[in-house]
């Protein structure tokens, strides 16, 4: 081989060795960890991470000979210092970053790691917003708070609480978690009050906030805080006597973490945590878990760790193993770890010491490998869904009782609440929280096992403020005297309210707050708005339940049915000489008269040939024909009907007359008896069409209904404040500055009519509503009062109260004026007339057909043979005249003529 060939061989050999060397797996891979060392979670996580790194490095099969080098920094529970710590770690070319446990710090570090394309794997940052696409390099190896809040919402729904108070630390962790709980509760129509705590709230601040929370009403508290702040909340609650009967305290998994981790903290705080219900992330039993727990105990004996193992210790341990598995998969495919200089950081390195930070070239592949992992760790199955969250999620529900925490049930996002461990976490089951006992026995604050009601309407220190209208008129409903003390507020509505309060199964201290000056009626829309704006706690009185008021407030069941009616002057109808004509319309009279005439003519035709009563001079026949027809309703006709067709027509005609006569009699009776009073206004339509002034009660919803619902011009409406003003305005009338009618609610008008003569209710109510008591939206008291109101109605007490106020001498009777009795129209009887007409025409046709047949026979038998040829030449007019002459003859004469003809024919032959 010549020298040139040797050189080429050596060059190729050197290149081959270079490629082989470049493809060799690195001996050491740097990973970082940012923790808060001096914290409950951080101290456990630090030891767990170090143990996991040691186990990975001791197992050559995990990374194929590559070792993990852990670079750990303290975040000091500060976003600023945590960010600096992360930058310090990343200067060591770490390809993955573990932690932090704080969601607020995780937000900042996620932005840094995302810029450098370095995955950030957190075992404790539970803020749901970290799973958004804004942080593509963030992965969570613990349960997200969105699922924990779904569990909390199911727990609240299970016990039937409709209002809760959420206390949370005002940072990313607390704020975002509670917002998810608010969304979950909103799906169940539950309401949540939020109390945000400063990140480092003082004890005085906690006392002030908890003291104010007592005035809100709910007694169900959800605490979502850090361990230190959370324990201070419960300590202050005990000082304020809020860990007693009637209170409910729910905590997220931070509390179980504290109690499981530190025996000292648990023993010091257990006294004021009695009855608290909390969540704990579920860790399934396994040999791996038991072995690690045993190993942790050895570390405690050796003094290497001081705290007990918590669920976050398991998650931290598994995070290191997940990182190692992902790095191994990454190296199997990418075969090398490279970094690139970041041009953006290079351009500012003169101002900040960021020149050592580099972008990880394989960051996208490594995060992909992380999300594809599927293995079993100490905490259970490690597998991620599309939102980069763990797929299998379960919580234990624990109750602090005595000196220990007792497990009372489980929750998973597939099976919901259950008293026993679900067999399969991935099987969806219907959630039936209302009828199935799915949790064990819980001891609540105060030591009772009965489920607390969860809210307090009022206390003796702060009684319920009940607004009552200080009316100027119709004081029978609500009367306020001498400032409106309890003894000085009376009336029908007040008595109903007091009787309902007696049926409420718990004590509700209250006081009346009069609204109005007593000189004019208050505006009831403004009264309800005071409830909506929490100026008062409720409003009672003669408050109509209408749509506009129900949009933002809750009403009880109505205790009296009402509706808008028309009040107008009435006058007696004078007797009329022609009142007998009013039952029938003109058309009905005309059709009936025409049938009298037609039936008379038809009967005459049918009877003329066979009945001597219908024969004689023309004048007599005409008189007989008309007298017979018009006398049939009175059954006074003297003529007897002989023909079969005539009897058939009379049968149908008499049936028609019977129906018409009965209807006429009933209608005339109505006109003569019912219609004793009259008003030019017949109903709401005629009132609107009249364009005359309309009165309404001051403060009533009638004005808005007339304007918005019926499009009445506001200029036509006149506000009236008292029954005396009603009477004066109606008596004056629209011509003299008064009103044509008044639109008001039925109870007021009934009371006015009972005391004042000359006025009446026109028609029926044209709206349907009722009176109820107004409460804020989602008020539990409104539901209980509705139930009590139904009992009050069922036991007759509601009727007794009504009789007490309105039936002392004589009960109010509605002196209403209905519209005029309806006249009888032809449309109501056209079927009968049609039957009668068909029967009459059919009989007439049969009569003529029979007569024509007889006429033809008669002509054939009586004409002479010699004149046979002359018959066709006769004119039609002569034939018609002969036909009428024929039917004018008596039937008997025609039959005799036939007999004589038949007798003469044999003799002549």
Tokens representing 457?
């309407």
CATH of domain 464-561+770-807: 3.40.190.10
Residues of each domain in the chain carrying CATH 3.40.190.10: 464-561+770-807
**Is residue 149 over pLDDT 90?**
yes
Give whole-number Cα distances, 627 to 638, 651, 736, 841, in Å: 10, 18, 56, 21
Query: Which pLDDT score, from 0 to 100, does residue 637 have?
Result: 54
Average pLDDT rounded to a whole number, residues 296-321:
90
Mean pLDDT estimate for the chain? 82
Average pLDDT rounded to a whole number, residues 779-785:
86
Class of 678-767 per CATH? alpha beta
Sign of CA dihedral 136, 142, 144, 147: positive
What is the rounded distance in angstroms from the CA atom of residue 805 to the CA atom of residue 491?
8
Strands of 667-711 (E only): list them: 677-678, 694-697
Average pLDDT rounded to a whole number, residues 779-799:
88
What φ, ψ does residue 64 adopt, rounded to 5°? 60, 40
Query: Which pLDDT score, from 0 to 100, does residue 14 have?
Result: 38
% residues pLDDT > 90 (the chain): 29
145-284+394-418 topology per CATH? Rossmann fold (3.40.50)
Q: Which CATH architecture has domain 28-142+286-383?
A: 3-Layer(aba) Sandwich (3.40)
Of residues 876 and 177, the one with the higher pLDDT is 177
What is the rounded distance in angstroms from the CA atom of residue 301 to the CA atom of residue 52?
19
Ramachandran sector of residue 506 (left: φ over 0; alpha: ψ -120 to 50; beta: rest): beta
Tokens representing 642?
């002989």
Q: 851-869: per-residue pLDDT in tens? A: 778 777 777 766 544 444 4
Average pLDDT rounded to a whole number, residues 343-362:
63
Query: Which pLDDT score, from 0 to 100, does residue 11 have?
Result: 38
- Beta-bridged to residue 468, according to DSSP, are 514
Unique residue bearing structure tokens 């003297």: 638
With CA atoms as reference, report the closest residue to 153 among 281, 283, 279, 260: 279
**Among 231-240, 249-258, 618-627, 814-823, where is mean pLDDT lowest?**
814-823
Residues 6+ apart with CB under 8 A from 764: 565, 816, 818
Task: Rounding to the nearest 10 degrees, give the CA dihedral for residues 216, 218, 222, 228.
Answer: 50
Q: 881-908: per-residue pLDDT in tens? A: 776 666 666 666 666 666 665 555 454 4
As a residue count, the chain comes to 909
**Is residue 263 over pLDDT 90?**
no
- Beta-bridged to residue 67, according to DSSP, are 28
Query: Which pLDDT score, from 0 to 100, does residue 162 have?
Result: 84
For residue 271, cis peptide bond before it (omega within 30 degrees of 0): no
**Among 339-353, 498-512, 528-542, 659-673, where is mean pLDDT lowest?**
339-353
Query: Which pLDDT score, from 0 to 100, does residue 191 have?
Result: 84
In this prediction, residue 73 has a pLDDT band, given cuts at 50, 70 and 90, of very high
899-906: long-range pairs with CB below 8 Å, 24+: 901/861, 901/862
Query: Which pLDDT score, from 0 to 100, does residue 151 have?
Result: 92
Query: Which pLDDT score, from 0 to 100, does residue 268 have?
Result: 82
Query: Which pLDDT score, from 0 to 100, does residue 569 have?
Result: 87
What is the rounded distance in angstroms from the CA atom of residue 180 to the CA atom of residue 166?
12
Unique residue bearing structure tokens 């179980």: 256
Q: 632-641: per-residue pLDDT in tens? A: 766 555 567 7
In this prediction, residue 487 has a pLDDT band, given cuts at 50, 70 and 90, of confident
Buried residues in 737-747 as b, exposed as e (16+ CB within 10 A): ebbbbbbbbbb
Query: Which pLDDT score, from 0 to 100, does residue 636 have?
Result: 53
Query: Which pLDDT score, from 0 to 100, does residue 813 have?
Result: 44
Q: 721-734: per-residue pLDDT in tens? A: 889 999 999 989 88
Report which DSSP code applies to 455: B
**Is residue 485 over pLDDT 80?**
no
Unique residue bearing structure tokens 């009175």: 634
Query: Which pLDDT score, from 0 to 100, does residue 352 have?
Result: 46
Average pLDDT rounded to a whole number, residues 650-658:
84
Tokens representing 850?
């029979």
424-429: long-range pairs with CB below 8 Å, 24+: 425/392, 425/393, 425/394, 426/391, 426/392
**Is residue 112 over pLDDT 60?**
yes
**Is residue 54 over pLDDT 80?**
yes
What is the rounded distance in angstroms from the CA atom of residue 276 to the CA atom of residue 492?
46
**Is residue 351 over pLDDT 80?**
no
This model's pTM is above 0.85 = no
Query: Which pLDDT score, from 0 to 100, does residue 350 have?
Result: 47
In this prediction, residue 719 has a pLDDT band, given cuts at 50, 70 and 90, of very high
What is the rounded distance in angstroms from the CA atom of residue 615 to the CA atom of residue 303?
141
Average pLDDT rounded to a whole number, residues 588-617:
78
Query: Which pLDDT score, from 0 to 100, does residue 558 have?
Result: 92
Query: Which pLDDT score, from 0 to 100, does residue 617 have?
Result: 74
What is the rounded distance in angstroms from the CA atom of residue 727 to the CA atom of residue 713?
23
**How many angstroms separate the most distant Cα atoms in the chain?**
171
Tokens representing 334?
């990418």
Query: Which pLDDT score, from 0 to 100, does residue 900 have?
Result: 61
% residues pLDDT > 70 (the chain): 83
Cα(first)–Cα(last) distance of the chain, in Å? 167
- Beta-bridged to residue 69, according to DSSP, are 30
Residues of each domain in the chain carrying CATH 3.40.50.2300: 28-142+286-383, 145-284+394-418
**Among 16-20, 53-57, 616-620, 683-687, where is mean pLDDT lowest?**
16-20
Buried residues in 806-827 as b, exposed as e (16+ CB within 10 A): beeeeebeebbbbeebebbebe
**Is residue 690 over pLDDT 70?**
yes
With CA atoms as reference, report the closest residue to 121 among 372, 356, 371, 340: 371
- Beta-bridged to residue 510, according to DSSP, are 464
Query: Which pLDDT score, from 0 to 100, does residue 342 have?
Result: 65
- Beta-bridged to residue 543, according to DSSP, are 772
In this prediction, residue 694 has a pLDDT band, given cuts at 50, 70 and 90, of very high
Average pLDDT rounded to a whole number, residues 774-790:
88
């Amino acid at each position: 081989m010549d020298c040139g060939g040797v050189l080429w061989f050596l060059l190729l050999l050197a290149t081959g060795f270079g490629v082989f060397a470049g493809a060799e797996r690195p001996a050491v891979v740097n990973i970082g960890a940012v923790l808060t060392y001096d914290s409950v979670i951080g101290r456990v996580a630090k030891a767990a991470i170090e143990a996991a790194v040691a186990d990975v490095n001791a197992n050559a099969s995990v990374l194929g000979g590559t070792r993990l080098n852990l670079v750990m920094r303290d975040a000091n529970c500060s976003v600023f210092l945590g960010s600096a710590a992360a930058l310090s770690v990343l200067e060591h070319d770490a390809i993955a970053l573990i932690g932090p446990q704080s969601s607020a710090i995780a937000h900042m570090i996620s932005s840094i790691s995302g810029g450098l394309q370095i995955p950030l794997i957190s075992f404790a940052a539970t803020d749901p917003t970290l799973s958004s696409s804004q942080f593509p390099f963030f992965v969570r190896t613990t349960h997200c708070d969105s699922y924990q809040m779904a569990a909390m919402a199911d727990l609240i729904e299970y016990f039937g609480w409709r209002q809760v108070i959420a206390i949370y630390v005002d940072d990313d962790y607390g704020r975002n978690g509670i917002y998810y709980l608010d969304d979950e509760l909103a799906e169940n129509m539950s309401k949540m009050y939020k109390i945000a705590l400063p990140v480092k709230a003082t004890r005085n601040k906690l006392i002030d906030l908890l003291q104010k929370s007592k005035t809100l009403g709910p007694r169900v508290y959800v605490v979502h805080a850090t361990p230190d702040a959370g324990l201070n909340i419960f300590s202050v609650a005990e000082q304020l006597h809020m860990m007693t009967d009637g209170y409910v305290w729910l905590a997220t998994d931070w509390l179980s973490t504290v109690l499981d981790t530190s025996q000292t903290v648990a023993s010091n705080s257990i006294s004021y945590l009695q009855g608290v219900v909390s969540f704990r992330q579920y860790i399934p039993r396994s040999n791996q878990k038991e072995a690690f727990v045993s190993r942790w105990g050895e570390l405690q004996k050796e003094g290497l760790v001081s705290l007990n193992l918590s669920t976050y210790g398991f998650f931290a341990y598994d995070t290191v193993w997940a990182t190692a598995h992902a790095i191994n998969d990454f190296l199997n495919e990418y075969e090398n770890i490279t970094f690139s200089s970041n041009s953006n950081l290079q351009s500012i390195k003169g101002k900040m010491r960021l020149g050592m930070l580099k972008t990880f070239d394989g960051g996208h592949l490594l995060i992909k490998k992380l999300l594809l992992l599927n293995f079993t760790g100490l905490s259970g199955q490690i597998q991620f869904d599309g939102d980069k969250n763990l797929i299998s999620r379960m919580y234990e529900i624990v109750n602090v009782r005595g000196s220990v925490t007792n497990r009372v049930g489980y929750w998973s996002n597939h099976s919901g609440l259950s008293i026993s461990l679900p067999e399969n976490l991935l099987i969806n089951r219907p959630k039936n929280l209302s009828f199935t006992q799915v949790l064990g026995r819980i001891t609540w604050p105060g030591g009772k096992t009965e489920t607390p009601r969860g809210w307090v309407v009022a206390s003796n220190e702060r009684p319920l403020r009940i607004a009552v209208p200080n009316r100027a008129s119709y004081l029978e409903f609500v009367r306020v005297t001498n400032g409106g003390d309890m003894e000085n507020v009376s009336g029908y509505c007040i008595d109903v309210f007091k009787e309902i309060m007696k049926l409420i199964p718990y004590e509700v201290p209250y006081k009346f707050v009069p609204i109005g000056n007593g000189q004019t009626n208050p505006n009831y829309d403004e009264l309800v708005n005071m409830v909506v704006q929490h100026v008062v706690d409720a409003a009672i009185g003669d408050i109509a339940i209408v749509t506009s008021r129900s949009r933002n407030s809750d009403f009880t069941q109505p205790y009296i049915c009402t509706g808008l009616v028309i009040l107008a002057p009435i006058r007696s109808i004078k007797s009329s000489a022609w009142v007998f004509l009013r039952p029938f319309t003109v058309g009905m009279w005309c059709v009936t008269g025409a049938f009298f005439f037609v039936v008379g003519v038809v009967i005459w035709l049918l009877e003329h040939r066979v009945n001597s009563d219908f024969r004689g001079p023309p004048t007599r026949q005409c008189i007989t024909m008309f007298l017979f027809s018009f006398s049939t309703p009175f059954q006074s006709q003297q003529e007897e009907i002989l023909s079969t067709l005539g009897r058939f027509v009379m049968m149908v005609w008499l049936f028609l007359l019977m129906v018409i006569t009965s209807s006429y009699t009933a209608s005339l009776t109505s006109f003569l008896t019912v219609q004793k009073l009259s008003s030019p206004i017949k109903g709401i339509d005629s009132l609107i069409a009249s364009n005359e002034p309309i009165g309404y009660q001051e403060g009533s919803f009638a004005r808005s209904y007339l304007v918005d619902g019926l499009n009445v011009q506001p200029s036509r409406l006149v506000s009236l404040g008292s029954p005396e003003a009603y009477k004066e305005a109606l008596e004056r009338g629209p011509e003299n500055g008064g009103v044509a009618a008044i639109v008001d609610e039925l109870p007021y008008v009934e009371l006015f009519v009972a005391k004042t003569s000359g006025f009446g209710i026109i028609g029926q109510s044209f709206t349907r509503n009722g009176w109820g008591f107004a409460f804020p939206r989602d008020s539990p008291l409104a539901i209980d009062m509705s139930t009590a109101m139904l009992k009050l109605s069922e036991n007759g007490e509601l009727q007794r109260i009504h009789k007490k106020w309105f039936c002392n001498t004589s009960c109010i009777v509605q002196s209403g004026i209905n519209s005029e009795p309806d006249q009888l129209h032809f449309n109501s009887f056209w079927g009968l007339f049609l039957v009668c007409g068909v029967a009459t025409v059919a009989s007439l046709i049969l009569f003529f057909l029979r007569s024509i047949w007889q006429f033809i026979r008669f002509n054939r038998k009586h004409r002479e043979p010699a004149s046979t040829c002359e018959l066709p030449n006769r004119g039609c007019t002569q034939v018609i005249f002969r036909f009428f002459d024929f039917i004018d003859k008596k039937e008997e004469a025609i039959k005799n003529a036939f007999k004589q003809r038949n007798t003469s024919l044999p003799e002549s032959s």
